[in-house]
Amino acid sequence: MSSGSDDIVGTTPTQLFIGGTWSSSSSATTFPVDDPATGRPVAYVADATVADARSALDAACRAGSEWAATPSRYRSEILRRAFALMMERTDRLAALVTTEMGKPLGESAGEVAYAAEFLRWFAEEAVRIGGEYRTSPSGASRILTSPRPVGPCLLITPWNFPLAMLTRKIGPALAAGCTVVVKPAEQTPLSALALADLLVEAGLPAGVCNVIPTSHPEDTVSTLLDDPRLRKLSFTGSTETGRLLLRRASDHVLRTSMELGGNAPFLVLADADIDAAVSGAMVAKMRNMGESCVAANRFLVHDSVAEEFTTKLTSRMAELRMGPGTDPTSDVGPIIDTIQRDRIINLVEDARMRGAHAALGGAALDGPGFFYPPTVLVDTPGDAAINDQEIFGPVASLRSFADTGEMLAAANDTDYGLVAFLYTQSLSTALSAIDALDYGMVGINRGLVSDAAAPFGGVKNSGLGREGGREGIDEYLSLTYASIDI
């Protein structure tokens, strides 16, 4: 690790942030945060206990009514200042993300801008919260609706976008007037702690945002879900954990937002612009080394263009340089840890055993660090596990089809429904495909759909609710309806 990264880690808080105060864990224990490029610890972070989780919720509850009563312009300006501070500190924050998560510095800088954008967007939405005043159809009464904050929220985030997945929740929660307890992923707590520090600098009052990194999320989160004062859970992570949390959230009938797994098909139709499709595929597949729930998981390509698409994609994938994210020449950084890398190894092995062949890559590299090379699998059979499970890695798996209807049916043949990508030059084919694809989001002639101004979210096993866009703030508001006889 470079001394530059040492400085950044050295100046980032490593304690719990509760009620506006940095503190050690009540058990005085810490847990290591590893650099995935070396497998070695770069920091030790306070390990929150069940008692700390309770203290964090106490602080969020204490701050709750005063924060909810602040003028929306006041909340908006804090978010706007936090946006500006994030942008000013792009280099430092990017270095921190790269150190604990592994992605190349350029991608981390992209994440900082994307993450900051949620704060700016919700700074703008905070002042546009509004209710309605209507006359009932019978004329007998007036209908008044007024939104108010849902109350204390628990925000649980994953490691793949340690800043953006957090601001996508914190932005709307704070804009709506909610206070929060943040439980970041154990692999990447430093980014969340750095963000809390920055929010304080932006003027956020004590207790509004509390951060409790922990190496044992099950019991700390369970304690919070058992507490009737908690009113909302927003989670981004695996479908498996999401299901478990949804069950637990039913005890106190919590409001929930769930951004879960995906299995994105990337469809290349016979009339697609192949060069554009290849460029889009590189983004859809390789952004974040494929460690994204919106990463293209299955390439479904029309027979008539399969050879050209495969050759061009393989050659672009072969140009990528793999190396530590801190090296400015790296395009592809390490995988987050051995568990994730082993999952990729097993999926590729299974596909090859069933008849797929690797046009590029296909074998993990020895350490140090957890590297897996850009890989292209062709002729992946329909029964390979890689068609059903999230790869979360730099592996492009291709199948070809003789018929567009068959491709669309294969695209929908999954329990997931987050995003689908489609390349065609026909407007009517694109518009009918948007209706036919059973997905919460569709990218048409684009390999990227993420946008703070758009409602991100899936259907089926991919989740509940939307993040970003005008819809994002509704997840943190509940309506009071008053029936009025005038």
Residue 474, CB half-sphere, CA atoms under 13 Å: how many?
8
Q: What's the closest the beta carbon of residue 370 comes to ligand ADP, in angstroms? A: 14
Torsion angle defined by CA atoms of residues 349, 354, 359 and 363, in that order, rounded to the nearest 10 degrees: 10
Give buried/exposed letters for 336-373 (b at 16+ CB in 10 A, else e): beeebbebbbebbebbbeeebebbbbbebeeeebbbbb
Query: CB–CB of 484/141 below 8 Å?
Result: yes
- Nearer to ligand ADP among residue 70 and residue 222 (C-beta): 222
d(CA 300, CA 269): 9
Query: CA-to-CA distance for 168 and 454, rounded, in angstroms?
Result: 11
259 an active-site residue?
yes
- What tokens were used for 246? 């949804």
Least distance to ligand ADP, CB of residue 270, Å: 36
Peptide bond before 368: cis, by omega within 30 degrees of 0? Answer: yes
Q: Are 447 and 404 in contact (CB under 8 A)?
A: no
Give the Cβ contact number of residue 484 at 10 Å: 10
Q: Which of 100, 107, 117, 259 is catalytic?
A: 259
**Minimum distance between the CB of residue 229 and ligand ADP, rounded to whole angstroms?**
18
- Is 201 a known active-site residue? no
Our CB check for ligand ADP shows the closer of 238 and 412 to be 238
Q: Which residue is nearest to ligand ADP (CB)?
A: 237
> Which candidate in 293, 390, 467, 475 is catalytic?
293
Neighbours of 119 (CB within 10 A): 30
Query: What does the block give as tokens for 314?
Result: 């393989």
Q: How far is the CB of 194 from ligand ADP (least distance, A)?
A: 17
Nearer to ligand ADP, 386 or 422 (CB): 386
Q: How far is the CB of 187 from ligand ADP (least distance, A)?
A: 7
How many CB atoms sit inside 10 A of residue 227's CB?
Answer: 16
Cβ 217 to ligand ADP shortest distance, Å: 4
- If the CB atoms of residues 149 and 417 are measured against ligand ADP, the closer one turns out to be 417
**How many Cβ atoms are within 10 Å of 328's Cβ, its own excluded?**
9
User: For binding to ligand ADP (CB under 6 A), which residues are involved?
Assistant: 156-158, 183, 185-186, 217-218, 221, 237-238, 241, 244
Using the minimum distance from each CB to ligand ADP, give the nearer residue, 31 or 83: 31
Identify which of residues 292 and 314 has a Cβ nearer to ligand ADP in the complex.
292
Closest CA to 83 of 106, 105, 115, 109: 115
Which positions are annotated as active-site residues?
A: 259, 293
